[in-house]
Amino acid sequence: MNRNNDEGSAIALWRSRLHRAIQGYDAVLSLPHRREIARELQDEEDLFMLLCFCDMMGIPNPVSDMTLELYPHMLDRFHEWHTRQGMPRSPLAGFRCC
C-alpha cells in the first residue's frame, strides 16, 4: 500500500510541475503581445466612439439611428475618449463634459 501511495504522490508531483511549466510557457508566449492587444482594444473602442458621436461633430453617419439608444451608456466614457483623440475640450457644441 505504501508503494501505491508513493506512486500517487509522484504522479501528483509530476502533474503539478507540468502544470507550472505549461503556465510559464503560456506567459512567455503571451507577454510580448499584451501591449499590442491592449492597444488594439483601445483602437477598437475609439472607432466605436467615433461612430457613435461623428454625426454630432459634422461627419455624416448612416449608423447614427442605430446607435442612438447607446448614448446614455457612452456618455460616461466620452471625456476619456475625446482627450485620447487630442481634443482638450468636448467637440460637441451642445454637450459639455469638462
C-alpha distances in Å from residue 19, one per residue of 5, 6, 32, 57: 21, 20, 21, 53
C-alpha distances in Å from residue 48, one per residue of 2, 53, 73, 77: 63, 9, 13, 12
Residue 11: enclosing H or E segment and its boundaries? helix 2-53
Residue 55: pLDDT over 80: no
Q: Which segment of 46-55, 67-76, 83-92 scores lowest on mean pLDDT?
A: 67-76
* Alpha-carbon gap, residue 45 to 83, rounded angstroms: 14
Beta-carbon neighbour count of residue 87 at 10 Å?
A: 13
Q: What one-letter code names the amino acid at 24?
A: G
Residue 1: pLDDT over 70: no
Which one-letter DSSP state was computed for residue 97? -
Tens-digit pLDDT profile for residues 5-42: 666 788 899 999 999 999 998 888 877 788 888 899 99
Tens-digit pLDDT profile for residues 59-82: 887 776 777 788 788 777 888 888
Domain ranges in the chain are: 2-84
